Structure 1
């Protein structure tokens, strides 16, 4: 199939892109790498009157250290992130999630901003952003604002971005001290969207107690999810008092609207979800304990 007709716009600056989005309104959508949007257009799962291409926009690429965080421009490709020594040192969970995204051809074009703004419930980067407490930067005619990851994802392919706002960067805070990170997912084949997945970050104090933790879930609801209740229950607990299986059950206990489709029922996804959380937790805790 072919997409329905649309007008194509190619701004060269953030200001120009934001101005276009403001003028064109809800009939316009920015396109980054296009690895999700182009197939949807081709299959006519969505139709747009205006497409605003961000490839020529300057200032939206790059990785830098800033204010205790690793800041990544929205148009930075997943392949660049996967090769970055700075990301591997400062945001190891993001580095470990990157090879799980599709195939290398997709990662060559796909961008971190596109993945986050598309807000696919089965995508890896949104879950990592939730687990680490990332801050997303947006620009509009009204100025700039920062959106915490746990307020960014609002529903099925929905975000807190207004029609005239452009996601420009995301800042991942560095977790220092005795920390461990792991991501686990279950998919039918390598490169497929996950049936269930979990991104886990753990920080321990010197007494083997959980100082801080983050659990992001994907493939387990209509939007990327954060297991906030499980995080609160685990924080300040001693490692000896926590089992990986308990963490998995607790993380899934409060979930509503777990999807059921041809790949598995809701009950099946809940079971698999608890298992991948437990596995990720176990690996993250082991890494933190060894640090």
Structure 2
């Protein structure tokens, strides 16, 4: 089945399903109020997960997935009426329709293993998003991307031309109405203005087990240190380099027989799976950010 046909079928199957993400000061009555609100609209709760940092004076988080008849036409009515509950409990909240797929842009440099994994998941129907375009500061990915009829844009990026490059990138992101940016081994530091324009909408993969080995050449430094575990970390991008809220991590055991190239090969395998999981969770509205941490339902 072609990708676009898969996406269309998915949207049809999910046309009455919505997701509600909430964070607010913890207090009695939150779950009851939200449940009664959904019941009033004849909605059926299909999945619900919640967490409290501290029942006394902490923060409460909940993710609810529900089905509601004719949801697409009632979305604005739901959002309008939910404000009463949101104001009462001082909620930060978001209501989304599952059929309204997020539009994703992938940024990549020379190393293509993470890009290939994302494209495979997308082709297989296991990553529900519209991959709108791929942007790169190198030409290596063009053939892979254009073979799938995805627009590819080569925009050289250097320290001297960074502002001009980002202006072009931001224009494209606006033109393609992008909801999520995935840095699939994009080896450039983004400016604070760029990050601010897409706050909590940029996911990066870092090729080490953060906070260890921040910055350049982590595998070389890991080898010199004689590490026994190689890892990867996916996180939201902030203006603090490699210190944004962590979404997912994983590790694999190594030993003294593994040289730098072995570590890089092992690391690449971990990077692919860690980034893919993080992106899927974001697309499925499973992540809430609290301070510099994430709650992943």
Do the structures match in fold with TM over 0.5?
Answer: no
**Could you state the TM-score of these two structures normalised by the residue count of structure 1?**
0.25
**Could you state the TM-score of these two structures normalised by the residue count of structure 2?**
0.25
